[in-house]
Amino acid sequence: MLDVAGLRVSFGAIEAVHGVSLRVRHGETHCLVGESGCGKSVTALAIMGLLARGARRRAERIGFDGTDLLALSDRGMGRLRGSRIGMIFQEPMTSLNPAYTVSSQLTEVYRRHRGGTRAAATERAAALLGRVGISAPGLRLGQFPHQLSGGLRQRVMIAMALMCDPDLLIADEPTTALDVTVQAGILRLLAALQAEMGLALLLITHDLGVVARVAHQVSVMYAGEVVESAPVAALFARPTHPYTQGLLASVPVPGKLRRGQPLDPIPGSVPRIPPDFVGCGFRERCRFAMPACAVAVPLRERAPGHSYLCQLTP
Amino acid sequence: MLRHLPTALGALIVGAALLAALFGPSLVPHDPFAQDLLRRLVPPAWLGGDAAHPLGTDQLGRDYLARLVYGARISLVIGVVAALTSGLIGITLGVLGGFFGGWVDDLVMFAITCRLSIPLILVALAVVSAVGSSLSVVVLTLGLLLWDRFAVVARTTTMQVRRLDYVAAAQAAGASGFHVLWREVLPNIAHHLVVVATLEVALAILLEAVLSFLGLGVPAPLPSWGLMIAEGRDYMFFEPWVIMVPGLSLFVLVLGINLLGDGLRDLLAASRDA
């Protein structure tokens, strides 16, 4: 469904994403995991063609269901956005326009891409609000965003992304800004909608708990690169890249951890990658680092669908 | 409630001026242009004048109340039309510059800088004396000169709004550039622009008075408050009310517009935070 290869995004001299390859299949939830600042959101915006001014996007391939997004004009991209590719943002508090009611924002997307009467669009909006778990959709349709709570707004955002029956949904940390109980509800909803509508879902998160619950395929990003990509069971059972191993080791597991026992964090923090950097971005924090890490790193395949970017062999 | 007292006062003053401008001329029994040379400089009623002319008469015997309400109409027309014209120019420039950035913004900034380096009154004087003074020339001159504040405010607020998530969300939903400008950005900066508009109305009214006082504003028989002050100048040491009546009206109207503008800003800000 979505096929990205060799995606690079640079802001001036800084390359925020260098060489990301991703493949999201029809009806699959693909999680993109990584620390803050590793380039997850920029990757999503680059796929949508919504990078800020001053950013440069290059890629070997960005394909969506047989369409080459790199060759597509702005207008062609505009026709895809919102109709065949939906997107949900991190901040539900600011992602809805405060000047319009829920109803007018929902129907507008639908009528832009599908046309039809206002009444038909409103009916669809009400049905979708019900589907995303909002009780009294009729009441909510007439309300303004400031009258809704964060969880409700995120549900409205999801409904908005689904108005035109997209094939691909990109969700950029949809639960980060919400509190824990609401997070669970939103995730369950996304997983249910994904299964029910056969969506391809690209879910960006830094929460490994989320990954374990909803993902089929996982890509781990570090400093602008996908360092490991694997089916979810394989990733948790046999993490291969030292960064993935460190990431999994640093998550506290209830029951396994005694009170007062320190967690096992990855030493150091995400480095700034200079523009002419070659080799493995993780080598300065890696306990297995060797001289060979300073030259180009091979992409190795451990099992079908499980690849990683490291000098080590499993 | 006490917090909104100045706003209410401003609204009251502006409302009264609007009513006077709309209905005043037909309610006052005198013609603002009719001269009565036998009854010149009759003082207002409270200074011992007669009840037929509550605000007295001017040096040509024209009823001062009739001229005042007719002048309110002219002041408000000039203020509103000039503010609308300059708003159209300034908001268009500012929103385009703030939204598209890059060379468009450089161009807009250059235009704003050029405009700010133009001495307002001098240029207005030059234009009016070159083209000849009439109501429409005054309105157009002011409208073409007062757009700088609209442009600056529209530009900075657009820059703030265009970075917000809902603009990105609208683009992610397939909205075109024009749609984003018209439907996402403009409604969310409108409350700033309303406040600027009230300030510009007040400024345009004052500038018209200045131009009229200098003899280059609204041409003579038309009653403008600035012109009334100018005409009363020769008598101010003997009959000070001749300039006090239009001067005080001008002061109160401009004060009222400014109070209303300030109040609107607070009210709009409060309703958006709620």
Contact flag B172-A89 (C-beta cutoff 8 Å): yes
**Once rounded to an integer, what is the mean pLDDT over residues B52-74?**
80
pLDDT of residue B104: 92
Please write the tens of the pLDDT for every residue from B233-247.
888 788 888 888 888
Count of residues in chain B: 274
Identify the closest residue of chain B to A170 by CA–CA distance. Answer: B172
pLDDT band at B274 (very low <50, low <70, confident <90, very high): very low
> Which residue did the predictor score with more confidence, B1 or B228?
B228
Contact flag B174-A160 (C-beta cutoff 8 Å): no
pLDDT of residue A255: 67
Domains in chain B and their CATH numbers? 2-34+46-252 (1.10.3720.10)
d(CA A191, CA B162): 32
B174 close to A83: Cβ distance less than 8 angstroms: yes
pLDDT of residue B1: 53
Contact flag B168-A97 (C-beta cutoff 8 Å): no
Residue spans of beta strands (DSSP E) within B203-267 = none
Contact flag B168-A160 (C-beta cutoff 8 Å): no
Nearest to A98, CA basis, from B249, B166, B101, B154:
B166
Q: A103 in a domain, yes or no? A: no
Locate all alpha helices (DSSP H) within B117-219, ordered by sequence: 120-131, 135-145, 148-162, 165-172, 177-179, 186-213
Q: What residues of B are in contact with residue A168 (Cβ under 8 Å)?
A: none
Chain B contact probe: residue of A75, A97, A106 with most B CBs at under 10 A? A97
Q: CB contact, 8 Å: A67 with chain B?
A: no
pLDDT of residue B163: 83
| High-pLDDT (> 70) share of chain B, % | 96
Q: CB contact, 8 Å: A287 with chain B?
A: no
pLDDT band at B86 (very low <50, low <70, confident <90, very high): very high
Q: How many CA atoms lie within 13 A of B63 on its CB side?
A: 19
- CATH code at position A44: 3.40.50.300
Q: A48 in a domain, yes or no? A: yes
CB atoms within 10 A of CB A285: 17
Contact flag A96-B169 (C-beta cutoff 8 Å): yes
pTM for the whole thing? 0.78
Contact flag A81-B172 (C-beta cutoff 8 Å): yes
Query: For B217, which DSSP code?
Result: S
DSSP states of A112-170 as a string?
HHH---HHHHHHHHHHHHHHTT-S-HHHHHTS-GGGS-HHHHHHHHHHHHHTT--SEEE
Q: A155 in a domain, yes or no? A: no
Q: A37 in a domain, yes or no? A: yes
d(CA A187, CA A193): 10
CA torsion sign for B131, B134, B137, B141 is positive
> Which residue did the predictor score with more confidence, B112 or A184?
B112
Least confident span in A68-82, B3-17, B34-48, B197-211: B34-48
Residue A85 main-chain phi, psi, to 5 deg: -120, 120
d(CA B129, CA B7): 39
Q: Phi-psi region for residue B63, left (φ > 0), alpha (ψ -120 to 50) or beta?
A: beta
d(CA A80, CA A74): 10
Contact flag A81-B168 (C-beta cutoff 8 Å): no
Identify the closest residue of chain A to B102 by CA–CA distance. Answer: A53
Residue A214: CB partners within 8 Å, gap ≥ 6? A29, A31, A187, A190, A191, A194, A203
Q: pLDDT 10s digit of each residue in chain A, 314 long? A: 899 988 989 888 788 888 889 899 888 999 999 888 788 889 999 998 888 878 889 899 899 988 898 888 888 888 889 889 999 988 888 888 888 899 999 999 999 898 888 999 999 999 999 999 898 888 999 999 989 988 899 999 999 999 998 999 999 988 888 888 888 888 889 989 998 888 899 999 888 888 888 899 999 998 888 999 999 999 998 888 988 888 888 877 666 666 777 777 777 777 777 767 778 888 888 888 888 888 878 888 888 889 888 888 77
A299 close to A307: Cβ distance less than 8 angstroms: yes
Q: Which residues of B touch A (CB under 8 A)?
A: 101-102, 164-166, 168-176, 179, 183-184, 187-188, 272, 274
Q: What residues of B are in contact with residue A86 (Cβ under 8 Å)?
A: 172-173
What DSSP element (H or E) covers B116?
A: helix B102-116
Q: Is the pLDDT of residue B273 over 60?
A: no
* Total domains present in chain A: 1
CA torsion sign for A190, A193, A194, A195 is positive
Residue A273 main-chain phi, psi, to 5 deg: -90, 115
Residue B89 distance to chain A (closest CA, Å): 24
Q: A147 in a domain, yes or no? A: no
Q: What residues of A are in contact with residue B175 (Cβ under 8 Å)?
A: 78, 82, 112
B198 close to B264: Cβ distance less than 8 angstroms: yes
Q: Is the pLDDT of residue B52 over 80?
A: no
Q: What residues of B are in contact with residue A90 (Cβ under 8 Å)?
A: 165
Contact flag B174-A81 (C-beta cutoff 8 Å): yes
Three-class SS state of B264:
helix
Residue A268 distance to chain B (closest CA, Å): 32
Cβ pairs bridging A and B (under 8 Å): 68
d(CA B203, CA B83): 9
Q: What residues of B are in contact with residue A84 (Cβ under 8 Å)?
A: none
| Tokens matching residue B238 | 């003997």
Q: CB contact, 8 Å: A174 with chain B?
A: no
Please write the tens of the pLDDT for every residue from B262-271.
888 887 776 6
| Tokens matching residue A99 | 């000047």
> Which residue did the predictor score with more confidence, A98 or B155?
B155
Nearest residue, CB atoms, B274 vs list A87, A146, A157: A146
**Once rounded to an integer, what is the mean pLDDT over residues B46-61?**
74
Q: A175 in a domain, yes or no? A: yes
d(CA B243, CA B222): 17
A271 close to A225: Cβ distance less than 8 angstroms: no
Chain A contact probe: residue of B159, B171, B179, B182 with most A CBs at under 10 A? B171
Q: CB contact, 8 Å: A165 with chain B?
A: no
DSSP β-bridge partners for residue A229? A219, A307
pLDDT of residue A85: 92
Residue B9 main-chain phi, psi, to 5 deg: -60, -45
Chain B contact probe: residue of A95, A100, A108, A114 with most B CBs at under 10 A? A95
CB atoms within 10 A of CB B122: 9
Q: A75 in a domain, yes or no? A: yes
Question: Which residues span the domain enclosing A210?
Answer: 2-90+166-252
Contact flag B168-A78 (C-beta cutoff 8 Å): no
Residue A256 distance to chain B (closest CA, Å): 40
Identify the closest residue of chain A to B162 by CA–CA distance. Answer: A52
pLDDT of residue B103: 92
Count of H helices and E strands in chain A? Answer: 11, 13
Q: A57 in a domain, yes or no? A: yes
Contact flag A157-B169 (C-beta cutoff 8 Å): yes
Contact flag B187-A97 (C-beta cutoff 8 Å): yes
Q: Looking at beta carbons, which pairs linking B208-212 to residues 24 or more positions away fall under 8 Å? A: B208/B74, B208/B75, B208/B78, B208/B79, B208/B82, B208/B138, B208/B142, B209/B75, B209/B250, B210/B121, B211/B121, B211/B124, B211/B125, B211/B128, B211/B133, B211/B138
Identify the closest residue of chain A to B100 by CA–CA distance. Answer: A53
DSSP states of A252-283 as a string?
--TTTS-TTPPP-PPSS-PPP--TT--S-TTG
| Tokens matching residue B87 | 């708003």
CA B72 to chain centre: 11
